[in-house]
Structure 1
């Protein structure tokens, strides 16, 4: 049997740092390792490079019921940077200490990749065919990974009915109204879309000492103030509404969908799972204007990080245009629409059953990610994408601080729990 902890440690030891904008160590060695594990399990992989060292691994695993449509399992091999100076252990050591496996990528998301590889190494016989994609570049824009595969090798994913990947299926310990601790397991059924925008204000150039009522910098600052001060209205998606109802019932909290902010307050710590998914957001993050202090420039620019809920894009962009005003125009730097999969579906029920097989007291709830994943590449292919990378975590473990954080680590027993849950799902779904 292939130990999931050791497999994860080996993956962590490959430095697959992705600094963005094409600056990457590359995934080649990690991809070769993955391909080797699959080959030893009797599965025929292929490595596809979208650019030198930007490697992706694809494979298919036959199911016991060939009449069923395939399930896509996709995970990324790249990780965000980690400075060893900041860490208690070297971030690429894959060290086991105090019941945890430490290292960059242990939570995001080499743990899930290791679970899949370990199951297949053990001879898993899935009920339906599995399409495997271990990809590059998720930690940037996916252009060398999932989006490239979806565009250039779309035929490989034909027929896939659903997909699983990050983020979801982990333990969230939440206090109930009666003092109990309830174990919620959020499963990702939606993601906010990403719309990174560049906004440009234009005016009349001039001397800094003279009055200028057509100052591009002032036009931009006024527009950004309106954007930052805007209170976005509540927009309830099916996923968020289902989360509020089911989590509220489990925690003994009254849910009033006409007063979402009040409901969030009553949910207590559990509100953190949903608070970023009840509204759209638009955040100014970058500024660029001027070249000399005594010169009023004719152009000033900023960039906005905009996140949009399913079913609300048209209203969001219309609102942004009205807030920017007449002197400012916008353009997309990156635009990836929201993702939404059915909450009430056999897929969701199968994931819930797999979690309850290992934790009978699990309360499984749908969840909308505030950010995004490679699901944005595969969802447009007609694949229902779910966030399901099961993981048991102990109470007090700061799961949300692990991904991209210092001292990223995963519980050893959590990895083994996740592998068992994933085995239940793939054997039955």
Structure 2
């Protein structure tokens, strides 16, 4: 009697295990070149893809800083390709602050715990499980996919997506759209489940403030003191009340929340806007920062001895500007810094905003609502940034779509770079089903 062929395992049957295995690779990226790198995790990804007959390419921008890219042939290769990308690095985790070992990937109370559980080894696992299942089953995605797992996103992507775009642009030939992290997750709005699809992200301006003055003995009178110049500039920049400026994405989101809640939407009334943001629950952390530019001082450095007035002093500022408004942001920061302080870029990257419309958006909405009938989908802007910034230099339009159906009381926004990062097992399984639908139809 001949053996019966084994059924092809569903993506949702292996996504949790893949997520846990990825978390167990410590790919911490402190941004100063001292981390362990992504090489071991990248080799694991290569093995997963080779296991189903794909031919991925692993490349390094620097020793140990590894990314993986593979092209999956679609049913209609004449159509523009879709980039589906994640990153393999994570921010560092201070283990004594955690309830669990941040790299043990424990499952507790129906959640996977560990650094990267939401940022973004959950999405990495969903992508890998769906692609593996498709290939094993002999199914093709609707169009060619460029599946990429990048290094270095947590430090701005210079050694990951940015390097790939600059040195290996042929890997993305024919691609016009992309999906990645920090979108497609659910929030509860007035008892209605709403999925936030990321159609915009703020620009990035990590800034160095350099103050100069006259050096000298600390016992003397100093009217030209670099430390004083710097302190005053830092205070002005950190306390500046940036005005509200609603981009099309943010306006559409707040109008949608107003319709669901019955709250008033008045773009001229800050209290009205605050109430709408608060109605988004834990997601308000992301959304509240997208109504205006922001400048948060993060580092200070000056002097070398208590009785010596230094000739210079420096500070760092995490600046985030609204898409299309970088020039006005820069001009205002320079004015706030004052004549004794020079403003320099540490890291600079573009803001992005695309319309909440088109075939890909329709397909994402349809994939979510097919798995969660009656749910609503609204656009939103991410206050941080993703590797879609780098891909935009190739003319690729990027969205945030890592679909997760979450419990209303989970502080999802607080999980990003936070302590006790975790993701529900059910959310991972839900996400694989949604992603499979999307890649099969879009």
* TM-score w.r.t. length of structure 2: 0.92
Shift of 1:68: 1.2
The CA RMSD over aligned residues, in Å, is 1.6
72, 75, 79: which one aligns with 2:83: 72
Question: Structure 2: any 5+ residue segments left out of the alignment?
Answer: 1-8
Residues 84-125 of structure 1, C-alpha deviation per residue, up to 9 Å, x if partnerless?
Answer: 333333222222222112222111111111111111221252
Structure-1 residue corresponding to 2:292: 279
Shift of 1:345: 2.4
Structure-1 residue corresponding to 2:92: 81
Shift of 1:269: 3.5
Residues 153-194 of structure 1, C-alpha deviation per residue, up to 9 Å, x if partnerless?
Answer: 0121122111100111111122x2xxxx12121111111111
Residues 257-297 of structure 1, C-alpha deviation per residue, up to 9 Å, x if partnerless?
Answer: 22244222245341444210010011222112222222222
177, 191, 195: which one aligns with 1:162: 177
| Contact residue 135 and residue 146 of structure 1 kept, 8 A | yes
Structure-2 residue corresponding to 1:112: 123
Structure-1 residue corresponding to 2:3: none
- Answering whether residue 186 of structure 2 is matched by residue 171 of structure 1, we say yes
Distance 1:199 1:83, change over 3 A: closer
233, 256, 259: which one aligns with 2:266: 256
Paired with 2:102 and 2:210, the residues of 1 have a C-alpha distance of 40
Structure-2 residue corresponding to 1:405: 418
The secondary structure found in structure 2 opposite 1:304 is strand
- Answering whether residue 165 of structure 2 is matched by residue 150 of structure 1, we say yes
| Contact residue 182 and residue 251 of structure 1 kept, 8 A | no
Paired with 1:87 and 1:296, the residues of 2 have a C-alpha distance of 41
| Contact residue 204 and residue 319 of structure 2 kept, 8 A | yes
Structure-2 residue corresponding to 1:319: 332
Paired with 2:277 and 2:239, the residues of 1 have a C-alpha distance of 26
Number of matched pairs = 424
Residues 208-243 of structure 1, C-alpha deviation per residue, up to 9 Å, x if partnerless?
Answer: 222222222222222222212321111111111111
Paired with 1:204 and 1:95, the residues of 2 have a C-alpha distance of 56
Structure-1 residue corresponding to 2:193: 183
| Contact residue 286 and residue 413 of structure 2 kept, 8 A | no
- Answering whether residue 352 of structure 2 is matched by residue 339 of structure 1, we say yes
Equivalence map 1:105-254=2 (5 Å): 105-123=116-134, 124-174=139-189, 176=190, 181-254=191-264
| Contact residue 199 and residue 330 of structure 1 kept, 8 A | yes
Residues 119-155 of structure 1, C-alpha deviation per residue, up to 9 Å, x if partnerless?
Answer: 1221252101000111111122312211111111012
